[in-house]
Structure 1
Amino acid sequence: MLSEVLHISAPGKVILHGEHAVVHGKVALAVALNLRTFLRLQPRSDGKVSLSLPNIDVKQTWDVAQLQLLDTSFLEQGDVTAPIPEQLEKMKEAANVPEDCAATKRLAVMAFLYLYLGICRKQRTLPSLDVVLWSELPPGAGLGSSAAYSVCLAAAFLTICEEITNPLKDRDGTSRWPEEDLQSINKWAFQGERVIHGNPSGVDNAVSTWGGALRYQQGKIASLKRTPALQILLTNTRVPRSTKALVAGVRSRLLKFPEIVAPLLTSIDAISLECERVLREMSTAPAPEQYLLLEELIDMNHHHLNALGVGHASLDQLCQVTAAHGLHSKLTGAGGGGCGITLLRPGLEQAKVEAAKQALIDCGFDCWETSIGAPGVSVHSAASLDSSVQQALGGP
């Protein structure tokens, strides 16, 4: 059992191209977003395990001895076993979360307990730990916040129990795990996602684990090697939406107008494939004309998504505001509100970027200047973390 403090981070995600078309067997490109979730795990010696999630006001402590008495026989069926409703109900009781607690809080606590018990059960006694997670990702915005949460927990528990290596041991800076260990992290993180979402695709946790860009089609996930980190504005319109209803709307439109909608889906697929080709070319020596191609693809895909019926006035406003500053934007994710991304090509004057950002904020939107193609789950020395992150995690 490792005894040192662990600091781990994992990125969120955005869909670059392929929203909704992916439901119908087409290619989607998902990219790691350089807004991250951070974890600090510190061993304690009082026989308790605690979880603190300052973003959503969760702070809970359990007696390890009580958790040790829980029936975890369902976890003996294999290294990574999907929870069934009856088991989740027992875990809900063990979690001791008030019934009137928001679903977000209850599911976060249940995922924590599931991963803690599932990974640490092989130890002679469950470890006594203090775990804090803080995120730059807004929850419920379709940016993979729950996946980053599950990936951080899986990596931390696997490392503390020496199921995987600690690549940073006795060194400063930031390190990443070897491929075999990333596979283990991803498998367990997927189970955390299943606790939270029921039937996730596995894309979000894969992007958060490996980072960069991934190609997803009909359940098959492949990593794009050496993708460039692209600068973007990420805008949250703060307009709530129902992914389920939006997906159903596209399906209905496809049944109603098959000869119109099917070619749209095929065209979105072609946009994803062309973007994948351009990104591969940019891995060696990005050229200005390649950014112009990416901008054209962004414009075309946004119009296609509007034609599918998943646009929203707020997203059109986002595109109009950024276009007035010579920038190109599209919705990302389910649409109907939610988030959009704006490509920032190299060489843009920072004053123009700031003006666009302020104009979006003036619309009542949240806006971040960040990047996509970020590194996946990583372990950090305390000294390598930004002081604001350390403060959020309760560090010095």
Structure 2
Amino acid sequence: MLSEVLLVSAPGKVILHGEHAVVHGKVALAVALNLRTFLRLEPHSNGKVDLSLPNIGIKRAWDVAGLQSLDTSFLEQGDVTTPTPEQVEKLKDVAGLPDDCAVTERLAVLAFLYLYLSICRKQRALPSLDIIVWSELPPGAGLGSSAAYSVCLAAALLTVCEEIPNPLKDGDCVNRWTREDLELINKWAFQGERVIHGNPSGVDNAVSTWGGALRYHQGKISSLKSKQESITSCVPDDAALGRRNGEMKLGSPALQILLTNTKVPRNTRALVAGVRNRLLKFPEIVAPLLTSIDAISLECERVLGEMGEAPAPEQYLVLEELIDMNQHHLNALGVGHASLDQLCQVTRARGLHSKLTGAGGGGCGITLLKPGLEQPEVEATKQALTSCGFDCLETSIGAPGVSIHSATSLDSRVQQALDGL
């Protein structure tokens, strides 16, 4: 087992196009968001495994000897195991959480224990570890925070247990694993997501693992720039994942955006059901809307695939038109919200184009920032959105996937995150 401190990070995600239509067999485009979750793992010899999640107020510790003595035969043998409801129930006893523990906290702890016990049980003795995970991603906002958490855990635990090698070389500030190692990270992260969400699509953990931009269509995930190159089928039999090493770029450079959180809670399940009901009630109206959203995704995919080092202004004009059309379609599907309308109005008044991202009904929206936009204009827009009661961040999409950072040569961003704990 490795003895050095490990620092790992993984990005969140946004849906660029294809929300709701993807449920009905259409294409969705998912992109890595340059807001990241960070994990610091330090091996020690105090006989405990400590987990701290300051973003959601969790600090838990377990005696390694107690965990070692548990009957973990319920964790089936195999390279990558799929959690069953019965296994998750047994993990609740292991976790020792109070009855009034919030759902978010409970699921985060259960996902950790599942990955820790499953990945580390091949060791002669379960390792004593101190793990702290913190994030730039707001939880529950549809930005893939749980997937980034699972990806960070899987990458760090696999590395410390030497199931995969540490890719950092002398002098590296940051590096990434090989394609094969990323495949294994993604497989295990998918199991962590299953503990948390039950039956996830696999999109969020794939984007967080591979980075860049991915296309999702009827259970298949592929690189945005190569439709034929499969990344993962994300089916329950855990078919082979990954065919590319390193970051999957969204075009060059990455697109700059404003990410706005309206802070309006939404019920994803109810919104999905609402679209389905509207389709059943008005099939000749709603089915063409879904087909049109699919065409928007495909056109966006084409444009992004053609963008080079110096994107042409007309390419951004097309992207803006697609954003506007998709937002109108989503409103017609019934998943808009007054807060999202307000977001679009505020940005439109400044010549910018916005749409919801994710389930809608509140939640988050993205605003495309064209090259050459003066920073005072960006700051004025952010201030206007903040004045509406929203949270607004300037960031980018097309970020690199899960990465490992040098503990002795931290970049300013990781150091800033550590200092903020």
TM over 0.5: yes
Deviation at 1:284, TM superposition (A): 5.4
* Aligned amino acid, residue 385 of structure 1: D
Deviation at 1:85, TM superposition (A): 1.7
Deviation at 1:81, TM superposition (A): 1.5
Q: Which residue of 1 aligns with 2:403?
A: 378
Question: Matched residues in 1 for 2:332 and 2:13: separation?
Answer: 24
- 8 Å contact kept, 2:144–2:204: yes
Deviation at 1:169, TM superposition (A): 4.0
1:256 maps onto 2:284 in alignment: no
1:312 maps onto 2:334 in alignment: no
Instruction: From the superposition, tell whether residues 283 and 96 of structure 1 become closer, same or farther in structure 2 (CA, over 3 Å).
Output: farther
- 8 Å contact kept, 2:45–2:128: yes
SS in structure 2 opposite 1:300? helix
1:342 maps onto 2:367 in alignment: yes
Question: Matched residues in 1 for 2:28 and 2:322: separation?
Answer: 14
Question: Matched residues in 2 for 1:160 and 1:98: separation?
Answer: 30
- 8 Å contact kept, 2:75–2:81: yes
Percent of aligned positions with the same letter in both sequences? 81
* Aligned amino acid, residue 358 of structure 2: G
User: In the TM superposition, what are the counterparts of 1:154-193 in structure 2 within 5 Å?
Assistant: 154-193=154-193
User: In the TM superposition, what are the counterparts of 1:7-46 in structure 2 within 5 Å?
Assistant: 7-46=7-46
* Aligned amino acid, residue 78 of structure 1: G
Deviates more, 1:158-167 or 1:142-151: 158-167
Q: Which residue of 2 aligns with 1:76?
A: 76
- 8 Å contact kept, 2:75–2:87: no
Q: Which residue of 1 aligns with 2:61?
A: 61
1:242 maps onto 2:267 in alignment: yes
Instruction: From the superposition, tell whether residues 283 and 71 of structure 1 become closer, same or farther in structure 2 (CA, over 3 Å).
Output: farther
- 8 Å contact kept, 1:172–1:384: no
Unpaired segments ≥5 residues, structure 2:
226-248
State the TM-score, normalizing by the size of structure 1: 0.98
Which one of 366, 390, 393 corresponds to residue 418 of structure 2? 390
Q: Which residue of 1 aligns with 2:129?
A: 129
Deviates more, 1:15-24 or 1:383-392: 383-392
Deviates more, 1:312-321 or 1:225-234: 225-234
Question: Matched residues in 1 for 2:151 and 2:102: separation?
Answer: 22
Q: Which residue of 1 aligns with 2:139?
A: 139
* Aligned amino acid, residue 142 of structure 2: G
* CA deviation vs aligned residue, 1:357-377 (integer Å, no higher than 9, x gap): 000000000010000000000
Deviation at 1:18, TM superposition (A): 0.1
- 8 Å contact kept, 1:10–1:209: yes
* CA deviation vs aligned residue, 1:24-70 (integer Å, no higher than 9, x gap): 00000000000000000001111110000000110011000111122
Q: Which residue of 2 aligns with 1:98?
A: 98
Deviates more, 1:7-16 or 1:281-290: 281-290
State the TM-score, normalizing by the size of structure 2: 0.92
* CA deviation vs aligned residue, 1:147-193 (integer Å, no higher than 9, x gap): 00000000000000111111114333110111100000000000000
SS in structure 2 opposite 1:93? helix
SS in structure 2 opposite 1:75? coil
Question: Matched residues in 1 for 2:156 and 2:223: separation?
Answer: 23
SS in structure 2 opposite 1:247? helix
Deviation at 1:332, TM superposition (A): 0.3
* CA deviation vs aligned residue, 1:315-349 (integer Å, no higher than 9, x gap): 00000000111100000000000000000010001
Q: Which residue of 1 aligns with 2:250?
A: 227
Which one of 284, 307, 319 corresponds to residue 282 of structure 1? 307
1:366 maps onto 2:391 in alignment: yes
Moved over 6 A (4+): none
Question: Matched residues in 1 for 2:170 and 2:98: separation?
Answer: 42
Unpaired segments ≥5 residues, structure 1:
none
Question: Matched residues in 2 for 1:123 and 1:392: separation?
Answer: 34
1:323 maps onto 2:351 in alignment: no
Deviation at 1:287, TM superposition (A): 1.3
Deviation at 1:129, TM superposition (A): 0.4
- 8 Å contact kept, 1:134–1:392: no
Question: Matched residues in 1 for 2:107 and 2:9: separation?
Answer: 20
Question: Matched residues in 2 for 1:76 and 1:122: separation?
Answer: 12
SS in structure 2 opposite 1:297? helix
Question: Matched residues in 2 for 1:291 and 1:301: separation?
Answer: 15
SS in structure 2 opposite 1:368? strand
Q: Which residue of 1 aligns with 2:215?
A: 215
SS in structure 1 opposite 2:75? helix
User: In the TM superposition, what are the counterparts of 1:290-305 in structure 2 within 5 Å?
Assistant: 290-305=315-330
Deviates more, 1:264-273 or 1:381-390: 381-390
Deviates more, 1:275-284 or 1:55-64: 275-284
After superposition, the CA RMSD in angstroms is: 1.0
Question: Matched residues in 1 for 2:399 and 2:35: separation?
Answer: 9
